[in-house]
Structure 1
Amino acid sequence: MAQIEHIVFDIGKVLIHYDPNLPYSRIIPDEEERRWFFQNVCTHDWNIEQDRGREWSVAEAELIEKYPEREEQIRAFRTHWHEMVPHAYDESVAIMETLIEQGHDVTMLTNFAADTFRHARELFPFLNTPRGVTVSGEIFLIKPDVEIYHVHARDFGLDPAKSLFIDDTIVNVEGAKAAGWHAVHFTGAAKLREDLAGYGFHV
């Protein structure tokens, strides 16, 4: 069994729920039009650049120039962002808090825009409980770039060979492994408990 001394959590879809459809089902009620909007206007690739550090004003201006008739819907992404994160995953949060209470070293590594993460910390105070966090939008790197794992390990004094990363996205899990970490794919709290038990953590 590998000796793990550091446990690192992703946040979105591991600790808190995220779904852009929640506000947009009201903003664009037609399902086909909404699907087109996310495939062509406020796309995943567009949004990930805010996680990489691009300012929202720049991101909005870029899209509004291409789709001026969609300005209100484009600006709604940031305006109604808080509706996209309606609740925490209580079981996952309980696991993380139990690990901290047991005295284990817990940090977080997340792809998140800098300003929305500040908002998330207000909405979900448990995000302030771990020892610290690396936020992609603050350092202009995103997972699965191996460099972001190196930066997190350096900044928090982690030995990659003794670090375990938890993420809901396979490519991010693979990125951590490429950086020399141990990593598990999050699919739910029950599976996470099993994975942690495999490393000797019982929560």
Structure 2
Amino acid sequence: MSDQSHITDVIFDFCGVLLDWQTRACLEGHFPDDVVAAICADDDPHGFFHYEDRMDAGEDFASIYPDVVREQGEDIARIFQYYIDHYDDALPRTLPSMVELLEDLKRHGYGVWGLTNWSHETFHLAFEKFPHLAELLNGTVVSGVEKMHKPNADIYELALTRFGLDAGQCVFFDDTAKNVVGANEVGIHGILFENALQARESLAALGVRL
């Protein structure tokens, strides 16, 4: 493809790409092991990720909490409140070698950007805990602030417009397949993220030289 050597900018998801996100790290040791295991399971019967998705889409915790109480009961609702109140504990580290990848991209003149599904009430914790990320990224679009979220086309288009980018010259890394599809549908080179080495190899295949 002729445009493969014209990548100018790389856009990154946050949790699962730049940051290690571990609900278990926040809850373990504070609540019964079996309850924590259920909450952290892919088929979580307590709906934590459903409620968190609503926050990511722009709803306030205060408007969601009564639904948690009604649908899950007071005990689970109390754990959900603890989780949101201690959200920084669910962000133990940046993922290995990702800060170095951002540094290398910037040093070689590429733009680096963030695009994340995240609540407007907790996103600030990412930059407070990892201030170097804030310094490295040229800008970040946060779903909960914009009240639109991946994989819908509108949030990708907003990011492109706000950052002044050409979709065909951008690469987007996300650890969720449907979000990669969403990026591809607006003309961005969406790539399913596995790790930093795979990201470098994928960029090299698109003509990015680091």
Q: Normalized against structure 1, the TM-score is what? A: 0.92
Using the TM superposition, give the Cα deviation of residue 127 of structure 1 relative to its aligned residue in structure 2, in angstroms. Answer: 2.4
* Deviation beyond 6 Å, 4+ runs, structure 1: none
Once the two structures are superposed, the pairs formed by residues 7-156 of structure 1 within 5 Å of their partners are 7-31=10-34, 33-37=35-39, 39-66=44-71, 67-128=73-134, 129-156=136-163
Identity rate of aligned residues, in percent? 28
Q: Normalized against structure 2, the TM-score is what? A: 0.89
Corresponding position of 1:174: 181
Structure 1: state its 5+ residue gaps: none
Using the TM superposition, give the Cα deviation of residue 126 of structure 1 relative to its aligned residue in structure 2, in angstroms. Answer: 2.3
Q: Which amino acid aligns with 2:36?
A: R
SS of 2:70's equivalent in the other structure is helix
Structure 2: state its 5+ residue gaps: none
8 Å CA contact 1:112, 1:136 repeated in 2: yes
CA offsets 1:92-126 (integer angstroms, 9 cap, x no match): 11101210122111111111111211111110112
SS of 1:171's equivalent in the other structure is helix
Aligned residues: 202
SS of 1:131's equivalent in the other structure is coil
SS of 2:138's equivalent in the other structure is coil
CA offsets 1:65-116 (integer angstroms, 9 cap, x no match): 3312434212111122111101111401110121012211111111111121
C-alpha distance in structure 2 between counterparts of 1:119 and 1:12, whole Å: 12
Q: 2:164 aligns with which of 136, 142, 157?
A: 157
